Amino acid sequence: MLITTATHSLDPGLWVVNYADDLFHFACSRINDEDAARDLVQDTFLAALERIHQFEGRSSEKTWLTAILKNKIVDWYRKKSAGFLQNLAPGEYNDDFFEADGHWRTGHAPHSFDIESYDVAVSKELSAILQQCIQKLPALWFSVFTMKHIDEESTEVICKTLKVTASNLWVIMHRAKVNLRSCLQKNWN
């Protein structure tokens, strides 16, 4: 079924064949839930069908669908994080890794990963372990870390989307990074 907008033709009948796999992998890399990723891709296609006449052709069909999916993912983050929000003011949390003066506690200082040069096999193995560690983060931490370091969203956008203050965001980011470091040290040879 070919649909023609004011300036472009779109073929929604081919969206699943042409774009579903890429959109699914994109969603999975950001939300850590395959069932939810499938739902988000389906929601993306439905939203695109509802707005098909708004497509202006300033991007490719795939880019347009990906932009819709990104908005769906942001909505998913917002909904998911609502159940996990805590008011974490700096200094109000117990940090097992640092002393009150900010120095590392004995036995918790980072260890070297002994990666002196680039090796494709080592890089792939480290990437796989890092992905596993990221997947283990609590939902809110995962959302914050993904939005900041994978989607490269600004602090303002993340705070607005997840309804957290900037100081809460940085506490969450700190905890996520410390948790990832610990996971990597435990699982990396």
Domain boundaries, the chain: 3-81, 86-189
Q: Which CATH architecture has domain 3-81?
A: Orthogonal Bundle (1.10)
Residue pair 48/64 in contact by the 8 Å Cβ criterion: yes
**CB-CB neighbours of 2 under 10 Å:** 9
Residue pair 59/67 in contact by the 8 Å Cβ criterion: yes
Q: Which CATH architecture has domain 86-189?
A: Orthogonal Bundle (1.10)
- The DSSP secondary-structure symbol of 37 reads H
Residue in 45, 64, 62 with CA at minimum distance from that of residue 54: 64
Q: For residue 76, what pLDDT is reported?
A: 83
pLDDT, tens digit, 9 for 90 and up, residues 105-126: 666 666 655 555 555 566 788 7
Number of H-type helices and E-type strands within the chain: 7, 2
Residues of the chain with pLDDT under 50: 5-7, 85-94
C-alpha 45/C-alpha 12 separation (Å) is 8
> What is the pTM for the complete model shown?
0.55
Contacts of 184 (CB under 8 A, 6+ apart): 113, 126, 129, 130, 133
